[in-house]
Amino acid sequence: MSQPLKTILDPSVLARTLERCEKAGSQGVVVFDLDSTLLNNRPRQARILREFGKARGLAALEKAQAHHWQGWDMRRAMANVGLESSEIEQFADEAKAFWRERFFTSEYCVEDEAILGAVDFVGAVAERGAQIAYVTGRHEAMRSGTLANFSRHRFVLPGERTHLLMKPTFEISDDTWKEMAYEQLRALGRVLAAFDNEPTHINGYGQAFPDALAVHLDTDHSGRDVALLPGVVSVKNFSG
C-alpha cells in the first residue's frame, strides 16, 4: 500500500511565480499540467460510471457524482456510490474497461471542471507577459475536447504566447512524454515555474529546470510511492 505523500504547503509560491513573470516578460515560460492540476476530472469519471450503471442496470451507479471519486480507485468509487461488495467484485473489471474506452476521449474530457483559482491564475500569468505552456499527458485525439473545455471555462487559449503540448500518440507513456517536452520548453524561453500533480513529473521538472519553481498540486495522483524532492512545494489549488 502506498504511503501518504509528504508535502510542504506553500501558497506564497503563487505570488512568487507572478513576480517572476513580471520580471521575465515574454522570455519567461510557466508550465501547467492539465488533469488534476488545472482541471478536476472527477466529473468525467462520474459521468462514465453513471453510463456504465445505466448500461448494466446497476441503479446505484446511475447516481454517481464527482465527490464519490477519491483518487483513481474504481472499486472505491463504486463502494462510495453504494454498490454492494459482491457486485463490485462482479463488475469492477468490466467497469474499468468501459471507463478506459471513454476517459481518454474528447467527448468526455469536456466534462472537466476548473480547479479553484486556476482560470484567474493562468490569466494573471498571461497578463504579466509570460508564456504559458500547457504540457499534458493527453494525446492529440483529445485536443478538440480540451480546447472546448478551455473555452467553456475561459482559460487562456493557445496562440502566440500560449502553447498546448500533447502526446503525439496515446501509446507514449506520460512519464516519457513529460521528459520529451523538456527540449520544446527550453526552445520557448526560460522556465520560471512548473505546476503538476504527479510527483514523478514535478520532480522531473525540478531536476530539468533547477532555477524554476517546482510546484506540486496536492490533488489526485497515480499513487506510486514517489517522494517529492527537496525544494518542491505544494499547493491545494490556485486560490492563494
Is there a contact between 229 and 206 (Cβ–Cβ < 8 Å)? yes
Query: Range of 171's domain?
Result: 12-40+113-235
Residue tagged 493557445 (cell numbers): 158
Decide which of 109, 136, 168 is a domain's last residue. 109
- What integer is the mean pLDDT of 15-26? 98
Is there a contact between 157 and 147 (Cβ–Cβ < 8 Å)? yes
Q: 189: Cβ–Cβ under 8 A, 6 or more apart, which residues?
A: 24, 26, 27, 28, 29, 131
Both 84 and 133 in a single domain?
no
Residue whose C-alpha is closest to residue 80's, from 94, 67, 91, 93: 67
Residue-level pLDDT at 1: 40
Residue whose C-alpha is closest to residue 35's, from 145, 126, 131: 145
Beta bridge partners of 30: 132, 193
- Mean residue pLDDT of the chain comes to 96
* Percentage of residues in the chain having pLDDT higher than 90: 93
Residue-level pLDDT at 4: 76
Q: What is the pLDDT of residues 111-139, one digit of tens each?
A: 999 999 999 999 999 999 999 999 999 99
Both 210 and 162 in a single domain?
yes
pLDDT of 100 higher than 80? yes
